[in-house]
Chain A
Amino acid sequence: MCDVCGCNNHNHDNLMKVSDNTGKKNLEIKKSLLSKNDEVAHHNKEHFDKDGVLAVNLISSPGSGKTTLLEKTIEALKDELLIGVLEGDIETERDAERVRAKGAAAVQLTTGGACHLEAPLVHKGYHALKKQLGRAPELLFIENVGNLVCPSSFYLGEDIRVVLISVPEGSDKPAKYPKAFKTSQAFIITKIDLLPFFDFDIEKVKEEALSLNPNLKVFTLSAKTGEGLEEWFNFLREKVKEKKGALQRA
Chain B
Amino acid sequence: MHEASIAMGLLNSLEELAEKENAKKVVKVKVRIGKLSGIVIDSFVFAFNALKEESPKLKETELIVEEVPLKYRCRECGEEFSCETVFFPECPKCKSINLELISGEELEVVNAEIEV
A27 with B108: CB separation less than 8 A: no
How many Å lie between the Cα of A36 and that of B5 in the bound state?
11
When distances are taken between beta carbons in the complex, the residues of chain B under 8 Å from A154 are 2
Instruction: Give chain B's interface residue range (CB within 8 Å of chain A).
Output: 35 or more
Task: Tell which of A25, A30, A116, A178 touches B116, judged by Cβ atoms closer than 8 Å.
Answer: A25
B95-115 near A? 1/0 per residue, CB < 8 Å: 000000001111111111111
Given contacts A6-B34, A6-B103, contact A33 B108 (CB under 8 A): yes
How many Å lie between the Cα of A4 and that of B36 in the bound state?
11
- Considering only residues 193-222 of chain A, those with a C-beta below 8 Å from chain B are 208, 211-212
Task: Tell which of A29, A114, A178 touches B109, judged by Cβ atoms closer than 8 Å.
Answer: A29
B1 with A36: CB separation less than 8 A: no
Min CB distance B18 to A, Å, is 10
Q: Is A234 part of the contact surface with B, judged by Cβ < 8 Å?
A: no
A26-60 near B? 1/0 per residue, CB < 8 Å: 11111111111100000000000000000000000
Q: Is A152 part of the contact surface with B, judged by Cβ < 8 Å?
A: yes
Q: Is A77 part of the contact surface with B, judged by Cβ < 8 Å?
A: no
Given contacts A179-B36, A179-B38, A211-B88, contact A6 B106 (CB under 8 A): yes
When distances are taken between beta carbons in the complex, the residues of chain B under 8 Å from A150 are 1-2, 38
Min CB distance A16 to B, Å, is 9
Q: Is B78 part of the contact surface with A, judged by Cβ < 8 Å?
A: no
Min CB distance A155 to B, Å, is 12
B8-21 near A? 1/0 per residue, CB < 8 Å: 01101100010001
B87 with A212: CB separation less than 8 A: yes
B37 with A26: CB separation less than 8 A: no
When distances are taken between beta carbons in the complex, the residues of chain B under 8 Å from A115 are 1-2
Residue pairs across A and B with Cβ atoms less than 8 A apart, 24 shown, are A5-B108, A6-B37, A6-B105, A7-B108, A24-B113, A24-B115, A24-B116, A27-B17, A27-B21, A28-B111, A30-B108, A30-B110, A33-B6, A33-B107, A33-B109, A36-B9, A36-B12, A114-B5, A116-B5, A149-B2, A152-B38, A153-B6, A178-B86, A182-B36
A153 with B112: CB separation less than 8 A: no
